[in-house]
């Protein structure tokens, strides 16, 4: 059995450590939350939460990076 070294992938939406997901600007969004976002309506609370979290990511990326 091969074990892959796990990165510290803590989802920025649900704050849980997940194996699968996407990375944006070094921030991790798990596949569960990604699916929620994809299936959520723009007026949905989940989407609003996502937008807020994303704003935080862009902001920190701007502050930290180039």
Q: Does 46 bind Zn ion (CB under 5 A)?
A: no
For residue 6, what are its two tokens? 């796990």
* 14 is a site residue for Zn ion (CB under 5 A): yes
12 lines the binding site for Zn ion (CB under 5 A): no
Between 1 and 38, whose beta carbon lies closer to Zn ion? 38
Q: How far apart are CA 50 and CA 34, in angstroms?
A: 9
Tokens of 62: 């701007």
37 binds Zn ion per the rule CB under 5 A: no
Q: Note the residues at the interface with Zn ion (CB under 5 A).
A: 11, 13-14, 30, 33
């Amino acid at each position: 059995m091969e074990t892959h070294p796990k990165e510290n992938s803590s989802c920025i939406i649900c704050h849980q450590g997940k194996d699968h997901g996407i990375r944006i600007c070094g921030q991790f969004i798990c596949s569960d939350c990604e699916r929620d976002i994809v299936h959520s309506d723009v007026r949905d609370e989940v989407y609003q939460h996502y937008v807020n979290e994303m704003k935080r990511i862009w902001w920190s990326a701007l502050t930290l990076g180039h």
